[in-house]
């Protein structure tokens, strides 16, 4: 059995309870639930990393091929311009031109074949990449399902132990079982976050009108906001082209972070927008802890956290950044330690 879990459970068992055969079945079930858990978790992270690396290398390859095509086109243009400088008389080419008409035609023909070959290679590369990403997406869903199954078993068995043996375990034993259940919930949230991150730029890409003002107000109605925190919408938020799921996730994560990391007796969160010529510049401002400048880029990476918050999965801002980039926007922040942070991001009009 996982050594930490084994130690924590047995630590608070009475001798009578430790010899209970039904409890041994429970411990065995928990032991089996942990089999290969860490390995599967690492596999899904490697799958995400592999997908990102393949996209990066594929983009570089396509960029090189595009540059090669431009060079070929420029060479053909130079040949045509060169031909215009020569005059044909009596079937002869003047000015010491080394290529005769036949050789020049062969050269142009070879270049055309090269362009066709490059285009075919590019199409094959894109199709292969699409298949690989689809396979990786299916694999991520499969592994996440395998990870959720033991987590749910642990949660159910821990609840059963609390209900049936809570009094015998004592206060500290109950507290440790509650800690187990909280960590199970945290792990399930992380798995869901990983799946959300890996599927942001996949699936339905239809854009339609989304009323951001209505959407943000709806998010605030369903979000737990402590009494000491005040959330203000300072401007009438616009209607933009997008889809409700991604945009809801974007605003929900940023607003949730502003609430979660506010350490003031009177927390204030302001939401607003500044219209620009081609895009909307949104901002979410808080008077919370603040973030040191050296961490401005780090917080947008997956599994990166600035502090050991038990309620944080370390993937929320990575999802935010990926959604904004999906909509061809940008995100940045300003912050002052002890005074608060403002996140800015753009969405096209």
Q: For residues 324 and 87, what is the distance between their CA atoms, to the nearest angstrom?
A: 58
β-sheet with 229-233: strand ranges across: 229-233, 267-275, 279-286, 340-348, 331-336
Q: Using pLDDT thresholds of 50, 70 and 90, give the confidence band for residue 332.
A: very high
Same domain, 187 and 259: no
Secondary structure class of 339 (helix, strand, coil): coil
Same domain, 2 and 95: yes
Q: Is the pTM of this model over 0.85?
A: no
Same domain, 175 and 314: no
Q: How many CB atoms lie within 10 A of CB 112?
A: 12
Interval 34-47 mean pLDDT: 63
Total tally of structural domains belonging to the chain: 2
Same domain, 182 and 234: no
Q: Which of 178, 199, 220 is the last residue of a domain?
A: 199
Tens of pLDDT, residue by residue over 186-221, are 666 666 666 666 666 665 567 889 999 999 999 998
341 closest CA partner among 272, 266, 284, 265? 284
CATH number, domain at 290?
3.30.565.10
The confidence score (pLDDT) of residue 194 equals: 63
Tens of pLDDT, residue by residue over 226-256, are 999 999 999 999 999 988 888 988 999 999 9
Same domain, 84 and 185: yes
Q: Is residue 6 over pLDDT 50? A: yes
Q: Which of 155, 179, 199 is the last residue of a domain?
A: 199
Same domain, 157 and 296: no
Same domain, 194 and 282: no
283 closest CA partner among 291, 293, 274? 274
Range of the domain at 145: 1-199
Same domain, 40 and 187: yes
Q: For residues 5 and 171, what is the distance between their CA atoms, to the nearest angstrom?
A: 17
Helix (H) or strand (E) holding 299: none
Q: How many CB atoms lie within 10 A of CB 246?
A: 21
Tell me the two tokens of residue 119.
Answer: 């285009």
Same domain, 162 and 277: no
Same domain, 152 and 223: no
What integer best gives the mean pLDDT of the chain?
76
pLDDT winner (highest mean) among 39-53, 68-82, 92-106:
68-82
The confidence score (pLDDT) of residue 333 equals: 96
Same domain, 295 and 225: yes
The confidence score (pLDDT) of residue 243 equals: 86
Q: What is the pairing mode between strands 267-275 and 229-233?
A: parallel
Asked whether the beta carbons of 151 and 187 are under 8 A apart, the reply is yes
Q: Which of 172, 199, 226 is the last residue of a domain?
A: 199
Backbone region of residue 63 per phi and psi (left: phi > 0; alpha: psi in -120 to 50; beta: other values): alpha
pLDDT winner (highest mean) among 90-94, 171-175, 292-296:
292-296
- Termini Cα distance of the chain: 55
Same domain, 219 and 179: no
Q: Residue ranges of the alpha helices (H) in the chain?
A: 3-11, 15-18, 21-33, 37-85, 101-199, 212-222, 244-260, 316-326
The confidence score (pLDDT) of residue 274 equals: 96
User: Which residues make beta-bridge pairs with 268?
Assistant: 230
Interval 19-43 mean pLDDT: 66
Residues with Cβ within 8 Å of residue 330, at least 6 apart in sequence: 324, 345, 346
């Amino acid at each position: 059995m996982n050594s930490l879990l084994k130690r924590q459970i047995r630590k608070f068992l009475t001798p009578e309870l430790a010899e209970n055969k039904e409890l041994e079945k429970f411990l065995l079930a928990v032991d089996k639930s942990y089999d290969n858990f860490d390995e599967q978790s690492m596999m899904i992270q490697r799958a995400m990393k592999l997908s990102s690396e393949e996209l990066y290398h594929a983009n570089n390859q396509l960029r090189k091929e595009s540059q090669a095509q431009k060079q070929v086109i420029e060479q053909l243009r130079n040949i045509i311009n060169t031909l215009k400088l020569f005059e044909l008389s009596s079937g002869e080419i003047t000015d010491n031109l080394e290529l005769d008409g036949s050789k020049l035609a062969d050269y142009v023909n070879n270049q055309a074949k090269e362009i066709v070959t490059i285009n075919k290679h590019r199409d094959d590369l894109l199709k292969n990449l699409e298949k690989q990403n689809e396979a990786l997406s299916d694999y991520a869903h499969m592994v996440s399902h395998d990870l959720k199954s033991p987590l749910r078993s642990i949660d159910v068995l821990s609840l059963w132990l609390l209900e049936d043996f809570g009094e015998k375990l004592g206060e500290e034993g109950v507290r440790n079982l509650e800690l187990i259940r909280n960590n199970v919930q945290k792990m399930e949230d992380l798995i869901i976050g990983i799946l959300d991150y890996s599927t942001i730029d996949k699936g339905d890409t239809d854009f339609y009108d989304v009323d951001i003002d209505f959407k943000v107000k709806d998010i605030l109605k369903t979000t737990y906001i402590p009494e000491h925190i005040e959330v203000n919408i300072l401007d009438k938020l616009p209607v933009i082209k997008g889809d409700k799921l991604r945009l809801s996730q974007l605003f929900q994560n940023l607003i949730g972070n502003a609430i979660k990391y506010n350490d003031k007796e009177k927390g204030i969160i302001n939401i607003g927008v500044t219209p620009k010529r081609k895009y909307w510049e949104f901002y979410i401002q808080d008077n919370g802890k603040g973030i040191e400048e050296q961490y401005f880029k780090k917080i947008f990476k997956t599994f990166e956290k600035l502090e050991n918050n038990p309620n944080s999965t370390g993937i929320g801002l990575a999802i935010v950044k990926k959604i904004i980039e999906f909509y061809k926007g940008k995100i940045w922040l300003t912050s002052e330690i002890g005074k608060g942070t403002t996140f800015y991001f753009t969405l096209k009009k």
